[in-house]
């Protein structure tokens, strides 16, 4: 999928990500991305922490949806810094972080009619597991990575949710403040 955002920008098309992504596979094969069982990842020889889903779910039992959202917005920041230090540009970072979200179990992510010049972006997530990661966590993660990549402060709201039974996919709308 690497480079697909840039191509989609030119065509104004929908971006579909694969379940195990080419860039993540390349990085793991080159031993530049490793996942530890303790929630730690090593990316480009820099260490960052990812928390096991059961830890996040247990933590979420004691937090409001807004608190979960705000905490989740902070989670990708160490990885964003590592990628930025490696001179990965904004669209490459967004592309990589969307792929990483899928690898980590957030579901199959699709950005609809991606246009970096727009103040509204629509993202669908299929095959998500509410027992692994909540939609409030996904909202925060998406807000953070889109804010970084598009250099705008995005808020993310969920307009449709699988767990509510009204949709086959969760639909998130990101809006620049």
What are the structural domains of the chain? 4-176 (3.30.1380)
pLDDT at 124: 93
pLDDT at 89: 87
Cβ atoms 88, 106 nearer than 8 A = no
What's the predicted TM-score (pTM) here?
0.74
Q: How deeply is 146 buried, as exposed, middle or buried, from its count of CB atoms within 10 A (0-12, 13-18, 19+)?
A: buried
pLDDT at 150: 93
Taking phi first (over 0 means left), then psi (-120 to 50 degrees means alpha), and beta for anything else, what does residue 147 get? alpha
pLDDT at 143: 97
> Angle formed by the axes of helices 135-150 and 53-60, to 10°?
110
Phi and psi at residue 105, in whole multiples of 5°?
A: 100, 15
Counting DSSP H helices and E strands in the chain, the numbers are 7, 8
* Spans of the chain, pLDDT less than 70: 1-33, 37-39, 43-46, 48-56, 129-133, 166
Edge-to-edge strands of the sheet including 15-16? 15-16, 108-112, 120-126, 170-176, 154-160
Cβ atoms 103, 148 nearer than 8 A = no
Tens of pLDDT, residues 115-149:
999 999 999 998 876 666 678 889 999 999 999 99
């Amino acid at each position: 999928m690497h480079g697909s955002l840039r191509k989609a920008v030119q065509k104004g098309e929908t971006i579909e990500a694969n379940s195990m992504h080419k860039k993540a596979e390349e990085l793991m094969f080159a031993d530049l991305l490793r996942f530890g069982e303790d929630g730690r990842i090593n990316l480009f020889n820099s260490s960052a922490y990812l928390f096991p889903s059961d830890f996040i779910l247990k933590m979420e039992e004691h937090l409001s949806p807004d608190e979960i959202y705000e905490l989740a917005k902070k989670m990708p920041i160490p990885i964003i810094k590592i990628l930025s230090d490696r001179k990965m540009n904004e669209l490459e970072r967004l592309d990589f972080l969307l792929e990483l979200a899928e690898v980590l179990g957030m579901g199959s992510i699709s950005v609809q009619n991606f246009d970096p010049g727009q103040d509204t972006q629509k993202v669908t997530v299929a095959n998500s597991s509410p027992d692994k990661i909540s939609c409030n966590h996904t909202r925060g993660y998406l807000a953070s990575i889109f804010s970084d990549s598009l250099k705008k402060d995005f808020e993310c709201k969920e307009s449709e949710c699988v767990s509510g039974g009204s949709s086959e996919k969760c639909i998130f709308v990101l809006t620049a403040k």
